[in-house]
Structure 1
Amino acid sequence: MGGDDRFTQDFQEMRDDQPMGTRNEVITGPVADWATDFSHLEPEWAADPYPIQDDLRGRCPIAHTGRFGGGWLPTRYEDVAAIAYDTDRFSSRSIIMSNFRPPPELAPVGGTPPISSDPPFHHDARRLLLPAFTKTAVTRLEPATRAYCHALIDAFEGRDVVDAAHEYAQYIPMRVIADMLGLPPEDGPRFRTFVENALEGVNLPPEERIARMGNLFDYLLAQIRDHVDDPRDDLTTYLINAELYGRKLEPSHVAGTMALLLIAGIDTTWSAIGASLWHLAKTPGDRERLVAEPELLPTAMEELLRAYGPVTMARLVKEDMDWHGVEMKAEDWVLLSFPAANRDPAQFDRADEVVIDREVNRHAAFGLGIHRCVGSHLARMELRVALEVWLERIPAFGLEDPSAVTWAAGQVRGPRKLPIRIG
């Protein structure tokens, strides 16, 4: 073992010391009325949430549910933005709406800083990550990302049908994040399991959910110990050596931030790449135009992010209050649906259409407020390169079977099966 004894104790002790939070019964099944009984885990939401959101925005802009112990769903841009910016009344200590709530004493740090952190801690924890995600730092990652995209498509040779989600989109962010953190690239299948457990396993009993998350932290502990013994030029070693308030980060902070980057950094980009390819596969006019006018891709990419932004984040109400006429109770969930905000006709002209040459596009795909995605430059680079390489190598493609496309349920929505016919 190396010289940093912060990491000599097993994370089992850390998990044993964490209270499990309040147990809440979760009821899944058909929704009677989305305004009073919404559930983002239902298959119709995963398949196509936009008509549901549009209906709610028109008749009940802030929906309620008794599931998960009670929660709210704003669907107007102005409401989503107002809550996202209001850190005095809404806590970020848990950003995944699930069947238990982390205890209030976890604030202001939370389990996966900085996304789970409240002010003032959030500002300082976020600042530690900024150097790794500047445009300059991200630019250095582009050649390897482009080469890897080409290698993935090389593997399609001789095939007429490929799964663009399973065989292309998911692998790009897995490789990029693995390289940044200095994790073995062959551990990709593990990363996929970690992502699915964290973001799609929210209906599991708390004991099982915590056990699965424990597997993630056990993996991260092993990687941290390896980096303590063998320091290298990567983000993991940087976090191990980083200081905050005059001392090195707590082991839970290092592991929590790594978990955030591993999970959020993979699934969001995987979903955005997959959704973009799905749109181009089913919309030949847009696909043909981008092939003919590749210089339009940066603009089109922003529109694809607006129209199919994958991320919804949760907040917890701090105290009982009347919020714009809605009686919110302490510990109620609030789901901040950035995808719903992005399709609000009060904010965007032709909000329900994909306009790939849309010039004014202040979308919220990367979030709003203090938690706006720290990795937005990285995600944009990965999405742009993934689409550039695909359109260059496979200019003609379409959906093999639209009914075979499946989408992830939960707070990060993207294609999980995407059969594409090449040529």
Structure 2
Amino acid sequence: MTSDSRFDQQEFNDRLRTRTVGVRNEVIAGPVSDWTTDFSHAEPEWAADPYPIQDDLRQRCPIAHTERFGGAWLPTRYEDIAAIAYDTDRFSSRAIVVSNVRPPLELAPVGGVPPISSDPPFHHDARKLLLPAFTKSAVAHLEPETREFCHSLIDGLAGQDVVDAAHDYAQHIPTRVIARMLGFPPEDGPHFREFVESALEGVNLPPEERIPRMEKLFGYLLAQIRDHVDNPRDDLTTYLINAELYGSKLEPGHVAGTMSLLLIAGIDTTWSAIGASLWHLARTPADRERLVADPSLLPAAMEEFLRAYAPVTMARLVKEDMRWNGVDMKADDWVLLSFPAANRDPAQFDQAGEVVIDREVNRHAAFGLGIHRCVGSHLARMELRVALEVWLERFPNFSLADPAAVRWATGQVRGPRTLPLRIDRP
């Protein structure tokens, strides 16, 4: 039996239930009738190509609304998205994934997955706990192992004329890195991918299906926590178990919530960024050939891929009824902060709808804006850079094997889930 009573099975389960019980809304799915009044980021049309929709909304209705998910707003201009991201007085982060379940108010200011779900002033201190693990120097120590792993993945694809770069390459890289950081068994990768899909792509499932899926995730995390309590080691899980805030060790929900955040966000965002970058290079031979001929362009190209194909859309909850920039928002309305839309706003970026791999000035919002800017940005950049360097070194000539077979994830993190590429060998 574990010696840390914080992680007693029954008490942990009871705490988890209080986190997943909230205001439930009718499940609303199906084709969109009008994107200005009935948008849904969970529909296949949005997943396949959201950019024309966003561009149209930015012109006709820059802050769109829907009654789906119990009521939500979608700003598409950079200035509006930035204003909301920085406004912690009127918008809460206690839930950052839009679904048909609104978490209880009691979760604030911690939220379910701190620090990204935390409001000030708690957010500052919760975020500070994680900073040492994600500095440039800490990330640099992970690079040699990451590079070696990328080469081993390429070795496993040897001799294949068509490979699925999303399924057989991109997804495995952040999965291995995050497992290493948290001290989880690397062979549990299939579980991690299941958790990612449940958390981010299952938002329109009925609560009776969605909640058990989340319970499965936290059940896995509890098992890992209890093992680390009994067998401490040098990893992030042991660090979180022993960390203190305000003179006390972290609450069980804080420990598990942060682990959940690192596991899900740390995998899906980078998986998506790697896949989208390879998709672009496969369909744009001129850019691929430039990078192969001049690898020094890769840092600028990476930032442009992050801008043009930013994977992440975050959410906020309106704190109280108010008139905001010409629309009437109500308490507990969702607000989707589409950083992909912000990154393609022509008022903010020249040639906003084009991919310019040598763009010199690129202050994109792919890692978010405001106090919740991604704590793992150095890690994500390292993984993306190494993944592309190794791929281009080993497979300099490739193209889309079947453009119609590419499948993009639905929900708030968008990236290729199926990406068949044809490898042209010398």
1:100 Cα deviation from its structure 2 partner: 1.2
Percent of pairs with identical residues: 81
Amino acid paired to 1:101: R
Q: Which residue does the alignment assign to 2:68?
A: 67
Matching of residue 294 in structure 1 with residue 300 in structure 2: no
Q: Which residue of 2 aligns with 1:197?
A: 198
Name the residue aligned to 1:166. 167
> What secondary structure does 1:420 align onto?
strand
Q: What does 1:1-40 correspond to in 2, within 5 Å? A: 1-10=1-10, 11-18=12-19, 20-40=21-41
Note if 1:121 corresponds to 2:122.
yes
Give the Cα–Cα distance (whole angstroms) in 1 for the partners of residues 404 and 72 of structure 2.
32
Distance 2:195 2:17 in 1: 20
CA contact (8 A) 1:57 1:75 kept: yes
Q: Output the CA distance in 1 between the equivalents of 2:183 and 2:19.
A: 28
> Which amino acid is the alignment partner of residue 345 of structure 2?
D
Q: What secondary structure sits across from 1:25 in the alignment?
A: coil
| Residues 304 and 17 of structure 1, relative CA distance in 2, 3 Å threshold | closer
Distance 2:261 2:66 in 1: 27
Find the counterpart in structure 2 of residue 235 from structure 1. Answer: 236
SS at structure 2 position matched to 1:36: coil
In the alignment, is the contact (CA less than 8 A) between 2:38 and 2:68 conserved in 1? Answer: yes
What residue is the counterpart of 1:57 in the other structure?
58
Structure 2 residue 102 is matched with structure 1 residue 95: no
Cα-to-partner distance string for 1:284-332 (whole Å, 9 max, x where unaligned)? 0000000000011000000000000000001000000000111000010
AA aligned opposite 2:94 = R
| Structure 2 counterpart of 1:364 | 365
- Quote how far apart the aligned CAs of 1:8 are: 2.5
How far apart in 2 are the matches of 1:248 and 1:320?
36
Matched, 1:84 2:82: no
AA aligned opposite 1:286: D
Q: Is the 8 A contact 1:20 1:206 kept in 2?
A: no
Q: Which residue of 1 aligns with 2:376?
A: 375
Question: How is 1:148-297 mapped onto 2 (pairs within 5 angstroms)?
Answer: 148-297=149-298
C-alpha contact (below 8 Å) 1:290/1:296 kept by paired residues = yes
Aligned partner of residue 335 in structure 1, secondary structure? strand
Deviations 1:121-154 (A, max 9, x none): 0000000000000000000000000000000000
1:175-231 deviation per Cα after TM superposition (whole angstroms, max 9, x unaligned): 000000000000000000000000000011112211100000000000001000110
Deviation at 1:158, TM superposition (A): 1.1
- The equivalent residue for 1:353 is 354
Output the CA distance in 2 between the equivalents of 1:305 and 1:253: 30
Runs of 4+ residues over 4 Å off in structure 1:
none
Amino acid at match of 1:381: M
Shift of 1:19: 5.9
Counting matched residue pairs gives 423
The answer (yes or no) to whether the contact 1:271–1:413 under 8 Å persists in 2 is yes
The match for 2:400 is: 399
Q: Distance in 2 between matches of 1:170 and 1:314?
A: 24
Tell me the CA shift for residue 16 of structure 1.
Answer: 3.2
Q: C-alpha distance in 2, partners of 1:100/1:347? A: 34
**Alignment deviations for residues 93-136 of structure 1 (CA, whole Å, 9 cap, x no partner):** 00000001001111000110001100000000000000000000
Structure 1 residues 159 and 18: CA distance shift in structure 2, 3 A:
closer
TM-score, normalised relative to structure 2: 0.98
Distance (Å, rounded) in 2 between the aligned partners of 1:189 and 1:18: 25
Q: 1:237-294, CA deviations, whole angstroms, 9 ceiling, x for partnerless residues?
A: 0000100000100111100000000000000000000000000000000000000000
- Contact 2:94–2:112 at 8 Å: present in 1 too? yes
Equivalent residue letter for 2:270: T
Measured in 2, the distance between the counterparts of 1:13 and 1:21 equals 14
Question: 1:251 is matched by which residue type in structure 2?
Answer: P
Name 2:312's counterpart in structure 1.
311
For residues 125-136 of structure 1, the aligned pairs below 5 Å read 125-136=126-137
What is the deviation of 1:390? Answer: 0.2
Gaps of 5+ in 1: none
Return the alpha-carbon distance in structure 2 between the equivalents of residues 18 and 307 of structure 1: 35
1:4 & 1:357 partners in 2: Cα distance? 53
The CA distance in 2 between the partners of 1:347 and 1:285, in whole Å, is 26
Give unpaired runs (5+ residues) of structure 2: none
Structure 1 length as normaliser, TM-score? Answer: 0.99
Q: CA deviation at 1:20?
A: 1.3
Question: What is the alpha-carbon distance in structure 1 between the residues aligned to residue 20 and residue 221 of structure 2?
Answer: 21
Q: Is the 8 A contact 1:6 1:250 kept in 2?
A: yes
Give the counterpart letter for 1:140 in structure 2: H
